[in-house]
Amino acid sequence: MVSLKGLFLFSASIVCFLSFLSFGFASFTPIDCFLISCGSSKSIQVEDGRVFEPDFGDSDVGLSTNSLISVSNNENGLLSELHNSARVFTKSSVYTISTKQIGRHWLRLHFYAVKNNQHNLKSAVFSVLANGITLLRDFSFSRLGKKEPLLKEYVVEIGGSSSSGNLVLTLSPASGSVAFINGIEVVSMPEGQFDFSVVPIPMGPGFVIPSSVALETVYRVNMGGPKLTPRNDTLWRMWNSDHLFLVNPGSARNVTKDPKSVKYPAGESVDIAPNWVYATAQEMADARVVDQKFNITWAFQVARGFTYFIRMHFCDIVSASLNNLIFDVYINNQTAVDALDVSTKTMALSSAYFVDFAVNMSAGSDKIFVQVGPSNLRNSPANAILNGLEIMKMSSPSNSLDAEFLVHSKNFESSNTKRHVKLAIFATLGGLAGLLLIAMFCFLCFVCFRKPKMVKQKSLSWLSFPNHIGISETKISAGSFASTTPSRALGRIFAFSEIREATKDFDESLVIGVGGFGKVYKGVLENGVMVAVKRGNGKSQQGLVEFRTEIEMLSKLRHRHLVSLIGYCEELNEMILVYEFMAGGPLRKHLYGSDLPHLSWKQRLEICIGAAKGLHYLHTGAAECIIHRDVKTTNILLDEKLTAKVADFGLSKFGPALDQTHVSTAVKGSFGYLDPEYYRRQQLTEKSDVYSFGVVLMEVLCARSAINPSLPREQVNIAEWAMHWQKKGQLEQIIDPYLVGEVSIDSLRKYGETAEKCLAEYGCERPSMGDVLWNLEYALHLQAAARQSLEDENNNTIPDIPYSILRVESGEADEIDIVSHGESDVTTSSGVFSQLINPKGR
């Protein structure tokens, strides 16, 4: 490989700098900027002002000298000069570009089959690699059916583990063919352009894309606006209009604002996307009509077998005030962002905001569906927007961005696998034949020489969860008791076939909730009894300890205010729990986050009293004291008559013995509800449940989540915020606005005092659940007495709320679980057996 020096006086970086100055608005000057015109003998200025230099004109650009051919055609005046010339290779050839900056670079390749008498470039078949990463394999311009030039844009790492400060671009023609290229752009990127946390879809822990992973731009779309050319972008990117991708154009309408009004929050680069992108958007058509429940949907064709990076750009250019636009975001029918309030993220209108995702398309559909739609979080105008979208393909583990290469590799691996499988099958059959002979010999010896014995029946007890093999289609579970009879004090054991029949083979339309343990289905047993079927993730043993604890606890407990366990199934590696069906769902759904009717103050008191009765029974009425350890509004379920029942005993522990004051155990629970004394000392008592119940009381009163990071700092934690007003004697300032004019002052005062005692810093200062129950019943009595006197005199109610908190929720922000690995008896989060919430079916 020879590095050829040119005769040009100005380096490529100087040319790029001058090109940026021509924009006037540029904010980023790249350290590396190589604009190369392949096969041309002169400098070429393109329409956006940039100047491309010949590939023999820069000392930092080396080109192997094997069979170089320059072709040009000036007859087509519709093309830019850049695409009227090309460099043609009859053998594998290499461009070596020496860069100054280490890190990610834009790599853009220009292809157009220039007419030439010597070579038919349209029929050329070749491959392109960059630093060992396959960009194109067996590429043919004619297969595209395009008449205009092709631009391929990539992001590659230079100077990392795969290269030494050089970009090595290899073009290899297929046998009997040639390779060609018209132009090359290598431009260093602004620092941190892709160093942001990526949220996987379906949801999981975020991660940052490794620098070794290359990216290929598949789509870059300006929603609601026109096509943007490199002239409009400081990084010379192309943004296409979204009209071709809208599934139902009638569902959206474009909105536009002056680009100069777009603001970039502190710390966010203006190079993330041009202000022209943020100044236009698609919003819901006729979005201000009441009760619209549709989404705006875009569909994008992609290649299977890759993971795709998706960056979504938002800017609230439609609202007149903050916190007025709240909507949900979906990717491939999975919730990507729940209840997004862009103005809360940016604390301003017309302010740029973006979020990154990663979607694996290894199987199934070859389309990525992106949707935005109204949220059910609160009663606000139904609207949703999207300003811009970028979809980029991530290189595979085999360092390829080409689907053809991926298929070839898989076929090769598949052939090797088949060969190994055949060898393994023959070896296994031979071994089995030998074992069979040995087994027959041992059996004959055993039958002939054994002494007659009385067969002792083994007692069956539930000690572990065996892994059964096979598929049960009978009504009797293999290796277990008959499903029609109860097990030894552990409830009914169901056959897997019964569960499948009850849930219509786990029909997705019957899903009523999704938690950390798995999905919850609505089912109907053979006898017509409606049940809730909680199915664990069959691919892992996560939740096994909670599964066992739930069965052991609920099998011993029977109370009107505890959810009843009907039975379980542990067949075929399944972990399935069957409960009585609670038609009302979790208490939280009746407080906020849904369109259910608002609960009256009397109903709320009765629900709290019912839950308190259930907890009081756990602490004092069972054979042993039981500490629930995860009391929260999602674990208090309601039936069709709004009777409250405590659920989710996966984290429950038996209380201390008579000669002990506490149970020393690792910290488990949910942020926002966790007893601070238990958290500090890891000493669990029944007073830990009392503290959590105090948080529930405030959640019921204020109709907001226990933890809401989107609110100002002093309001994030409801326990601290409510106690601030309770101690001032002004708790009415933050109650649910729907309770205004309904709550008796005396009832509210007693309720607030009860919650305050529950939320005391130390457990010894908190009341027992029995005392809490008495106080709540007294608060209900005070409310009833006030109602009675209200008929004669209407002066004992709260007339108005001069100040109320924002009711903007943060999805599952308060469901963050505390899991300490210091204790071996619990291995999963507290969200395992909660969240019996209707998912958004979109």
Q: Supply the residues annotated as catalytic.
A: 630
Distance, CA of 257 to CA of 270 (rounded, Å): 17
Give the three-state DSSP class for 480. Answer: coil
- Tokens of residue 536, six digits: 């664990």
Burial class (CB in 10 A: 0-12, 13-18, 19+), 285: middle
Angle at CA of residue 656, ends 655 and 661, nearest 5°: 130
Q: Is 613 annotated as a binding residue?
A: no
Task: To the nearest 10°, report the CA torsion of 459, 463, 469, 474.
Answer: 60
- Tokens of residue 131, six digits: 């630093």
Distance, CA of 185 to CA of 15 (rounded, Å): 12
Distance, CA of 315 to CA of 348 (rounded, Å): 10
- Among candidate residues 299, 286, 298, 290, the one with its CA nearest the CA of residue 253: 286
Distance, CA of 439 to CA of 156 (rounded, Å): 61
Distance, CA of 247 to CA of 367 (rounded, Å): 12
- Among candidate residues 819, 536, 488, 464, the one with its CA nearest the CA of residue 651: 819
- Among candidate residues 76, 73, 171, the one with its CA nearest the CA of residue 120: 73
Residue 421 half-sphere exposure toward CB, CA atoms < 13 A: 6
Q: DSSP for 351-407, please give it.
A: B-EEEEEEEE-SSS-SEEEEEEEE-SSSS-----EE-EEEEEEEPPTTSB--HHHHH
- Among candidate residues 568, 485, 581, the one with its CA nearest the CA of residue 529: 581
**Cβ within 8 Å of residue 5, ≥6 positions away:** 59
Structural contact between residues 807 and 592, judged by C-beta atoms closer than 8 angstroms: yes
Q: Is it true that the peptide bond before 202 is cis, omega within 30 degrees of 0?
A: yes
- Tokens of residue 124, six digits: 């050329």
- Pairing, β 576-580 against β 626-627: unpaired
Q: Output b/e per residue, 90-100; b: 16+ Cβ within 10 A.
A: eebbbbbbbbe
Q: Output b/e per residue, 362-378; b: 16+ Cβ within 10 A.
A: eeeeeebbbbbbbbbbb
Structural contact between residues 501 and 523, judged by C-beta atoms closer than 8 angstroms: no
Residue 104's identity, in one-letter code, is R
Q: What is the CA radius of gyration of the chain?
A: 34
Distance, CA of 109 to CA of 403 (rounded, Å): 18
Cα separations in angstroms, 732 against 453, 719, 749, 752: 79, 15, 9, 10
**Cβ within 8 Å of residue 207, ≥6 positions away:** 197, 198, 200, 358
- Tokens of residue 711, six digits: 């609110």
- Pairing, β 85-89 against β 179-181: antiparallel
- Tokens of residue 297, six digits: 């949907």
Angle at CA of residue 552, ends 550 and 556, nearest 5°: 110
Packing angle of the helix pair 686-702, 745-758 (nearest 10 deg):
140
Residue ranges for the known binding site for ATP are 534
